[in-house]
Structure 1
Amino acid sequence: MPTFNSPTADAAEVSEALRGLAHASRVFEDPADTYAVLGDLLAGVRSLRQVLDQLATAHVTHRVRAHDDAGDQTVGATNALTATAELQQAAALLDAVHDRVDAAMAASGRIAWHPEPVQPAQVSRWVSVVFLQGQDADEVLAVIDRDGTDAAIEHLAGFDMGDETTQAALVNGYVYDTIPTGHLDRITTNGEYTLTYNHDHGHVSLLRRQPESQELAAPASRTAPARQGARRQARVVEDDDDWFAPSQSSSMSRGRAL
């Protein structure tokens, strides 16, 4: 609380209050609060202008008592007059500060702050692009070990035929509300693609994010099933058109070798 009679005590309190304001004003939860803060600051600038004037007056009034450390009164009086001039200059500069803050407050008072718009959550589903196991997966796992997951995603993204892949996944039921993963699976995302892989179990899967806003004209997706069911890739009517069934030999399906 201000004392109104002890300049040193009140100055210390002002310093602490300004330090607190500097910390508190880092974030405004309600931007409308800035108007009230500007009003208080404007009043503070006016008071500070008065304080500087009074400090200048005190230096010039008591200059006969001013000495330097060696006891020279002439030098002390000269320093007092110098301090007076600097304080008067600072007070004059505060006039410009006052005018700018006053103009800012007037402009702020003309603002009608609206509530922050609420962005609807972007819900996505996941379309299976390709699932590999055995030797086919080992080749991709080697790419991951050698060049990193981004290189593996870039390679597997080549199997994504866009709408054709999406429709094939819908026919087979490989569209998920959550990313299907199992114990020890590792997951990494790059853009719209998510890669899951497991060195111990020897399999790799690439999924593409499908925003809910993009309607999927096919059977409803299912929530990610248990690990075994999620990895059992059903065949389409024609084997040659199945993008998801793992190969039965050591090499990948036609057109899918690394």
Structure 2
Amino acid sequence: MPTFNDPKADADEAYAALRGLAHATRTFENPADTYDVLGNLLGGMGSLAQVIDQLAGAHLAARHRAFDDTGDQLAGETAAEAAGRELLAVKALLDQAYRGLDVAMSQSGKIAWHPEPPVSALGQVNEADAVRTVEEIGTLKLTVWPITPLGVHHRYGYLIEDQATGAVAGGRDLFTGIEPVTPEQAMRELVIYLQAEGDNRQRALDHPDEPAPELMFPEAIADAAHANDAALDARASSTWQGPVQLAELLGAPRDPVPEPEKAGRWISVVFLHGEDADHVLDLIEKNGPDAAIEHLAGYDFGEETVQAALANGYVYDEPPTGALDRTATHDVYTLTYSPSLGHVALLREYDATPDPALLDIDDPAPVERQEPTAAREARSPRAERSGSSWFGRRTGTASSSQGLAL
């Protein structure tokens, strides 16, 4: 409970509450709840702006009492004034954020959310004419079908049925990228997710004393994926149809994705925020930005990273930075990060070869440029480097994640 008179204790409680809220808002069972959350956040944003303003006033009002560690009053007073000015600038940004949040809440209040259709009705909402692709893998029966894209991202509905136990799960949020994709590719993504789910169940069995990995599917489906791990592994390692462009779907010759001019261009390697960024921000604080760059370089998969950036439009003339961002450069990488906003990003010079020591490899020689793979929304660190190639990957591994939200 708030004390209303102990700033340190109330700040600790506010921090804990915000961390809890960040965890709780990862998913919304009822999207209508977002309106109430926005209302509370709007009030909290106003209070936060007031707190920042009062912190600025405290620094400026008591600057005559400020000394540095060596007892230098001038240095301490200068630091207090600088802190006060920065806090006032942050307060101005929070006022702007408050106004934006107020507008967002007003728009959210205009929405009448409809209930999610049950699994038995999946595919019946504006999808009656969609062609279903069905495949049986072990005891699992998998069905995918195209549905209306979400923004620029093509997505598929899916249904998973375990014919041995009767367990069923489904959804309408299997994202497959920006480029038009075939049902075969969507099926492949679903198989790889199930393959990973089976691996997670095996890991939980092998290490019962460790926290169990978070599941993407209901437990019964995870158990079914584990029971069919051999069949899923075999299917994930088999030949799949490659990505296609819209022109190819219409029977026209396929054109490659245009590449940007190489000079002065940057591609996004990875962007992390929230809890995902906390470890990297701690690493920066303890060991400096170079250590963070070496760590995040593990997200760079060479040609695959380039093609994903091209397909998603994550290519920039200059590394994008915000008003509160800090930057650091090491070799061909530039790191941007903001401890106050809780995010980090790593960018690489387009078509540049990193120092092999950064990637822990012996031979960074690039391979011949290929057609772009299906667009990816996020990437996972390099789990295994096959051979000595910067671009080596393990067959059948989900090399980069898509927006499968359950």
> Normalising to structure 1: TM-score of the pair?
0.47
For CA contacts below 8 A with separation 6 or more, give which structure has more relative contact order: 1
More helix by share: 1
Larger radius of gyration: 1
